[in-house]
């Protein structure tokens, strides 16, 4: 199954992508993570991207489209993927359509996670992750069971993103409203959009998304049975 998780910064895309991919045998494709890795590796593209990311601005379409296209070609994406943070503009969405066509792949669903602005800001400013395994946490909404120790790997080394601060939040939210939110209409018109309430607890949101994906999966299977039935039945 190939899906997009669509939502403003802090909506919970990464959190849910990690859960989905462990439950459903798909891979998480986060352009934000890929760009941060590229910056850490010291590549010029990564360094240029970091300057924009630290200000809360979007990186150019050409750079992220190229990164995603190469990543989708890797064998592990054959089992299915959850795009997290891509596409973020109509141009990226159009490039994704072409790219998937060329690669003989298609999108099963676009899951929009709807969260209000006050909650988004609270989620962004309180976010931190384990520096060792990448598990995500929050100062108020998801603290480690033992203070200062990662629940997953037991390491006591946490980090915060350079762009997760009150100064960049407005720029990032405005980039979402101006450039990314038009994708809601784009995918609605293609019959791919499903919207879930992202305001519940992490478990509640996981359940809503799982229900939606079960329905999408079920209807895809019954359609293909119907097609086989009409050929062989």
Distance (Å, whole) CA 233 – CA 123: 53
Tell me which residue of 11, 3, 1, 2 sits closest to 172, measured CA to CA.
11
φ/ψ of residue 102, rounded to 5: -60, -30
Query: Of residues 1, 27, 45, 52, which one binds ligand AMP by CB under 6 A?
Result: 52
Tell me whether residue 172 is one of the annotated catalytic residues: yes
88 is catalytic: yes
Strand (E) or helix (H) holding 115: none
Task: Look at the alpha carbons of 107, 210, 143, 112 in this order and tell me if their dihedral is positive or negative.
Answer: positive
What tokens appear for 31 in the block?
A: 């352009």
> In this chain, which stretch among 79-87, 110-118, 134-142, 196-204 interacts with ligand AMP, using CB under 6 A?
79-87
- Active-site hit among 24, 142, 161, 179: 161
- Candidates 16, 21, 31, 38; binder of ligand AMP (CB under 6 A) is 31
**Residue 172 touches which member of ligand AMP, ligand ADP, none, C-beta under 5-8 Å by kind:** ligand AMP
Q: Of ligand ADP, ligand AMP, none, which one sits near residue 176, judging by CB under 5 to 8 A according to partner kind? A: none
Binding string, 159-198, against ligand AMP, x = CB under 6 A? -------------x--------------------------
Distance, CA of 230 to CA of 132 (rounded, Å): 52
Q: Are strands 2-6 and 27-30 parallel, antiparallel or unpaired?
A: unpaired
Q: Comparing C-alpha atoms, which of 21, 2, 186 is closest to residue 88?
A: 186
Query: Which one from 13, 19, 50, 71 is the annotated catalytic residue?
Result: 13
The reply to whether 225 belongs to the active site is: no
Radius of gyration of the chain (CA): 18
Residue 88 in the binding site for ligand AMP (CB under 6 A): yes
Stretch that binds ligand ADP, among 10-18, 64-72, 144-152, 179-187 (CB under 6 A): 10-18
Token pair belonging to 208: 């809503």
144 touches ligand ADP by CB under 6 A: no
Q: Which residues contribute to the site for ligand AMP (CB under 6 A)?
A: 9, 31-32, 35, 52-53, 56-59, 64, 85-88, 92, 172
**Positions marked active-site:** 13, 88, 127, 161, 172
């Amino acid at each position: 199954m190939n899906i997009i998780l669509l939502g403003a910064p802090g909506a919970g895309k990464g959190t849910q992508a990690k859960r989905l991919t462990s439950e459903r045998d798909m891979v998480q494709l986060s352009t934000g993570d890929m760009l941060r890795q590229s910056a850490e590796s010291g590549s010029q593209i990564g360094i240029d991207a970091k300057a924009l990311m630290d200000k809360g601005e979007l990186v150019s379409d050409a750079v992220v489209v190229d990164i995603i296209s190469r990543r989708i070609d890797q064998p592990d994406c054959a089992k299915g993927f959850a795009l997290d943070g891509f596409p973020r503009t109509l141009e990226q969405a159009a490039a994704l359509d072409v790219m998937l066509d060329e690669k003989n792949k298609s999108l099963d669903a676009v899951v929009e996670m709807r969260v209000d602005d006050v909650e988004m800001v609270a989620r962004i400013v309180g976010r931190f992750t384990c520096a060792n395994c990448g598990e995500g946490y929050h100062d108020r909404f998801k603290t480690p069971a033992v203070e200062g120790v990662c629940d997953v790997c037991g390491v006591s080394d946490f980090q915060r993103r350079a762009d997760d601060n009150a100064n960049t939040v407005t720029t990032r939210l405005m980039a979402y409203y101006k450039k990314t939110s038009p994708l809601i209409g784009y995918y609605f018109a293609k019959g791919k959009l499903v919207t879930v309430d992202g305001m519940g607890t992490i478990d509640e949101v996981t359940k809503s998304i799982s229900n939606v994906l079960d329905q999408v999966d079920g209807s895809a299977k019954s359609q293909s049975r119907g097609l086989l039935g009409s050929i062989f039945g």
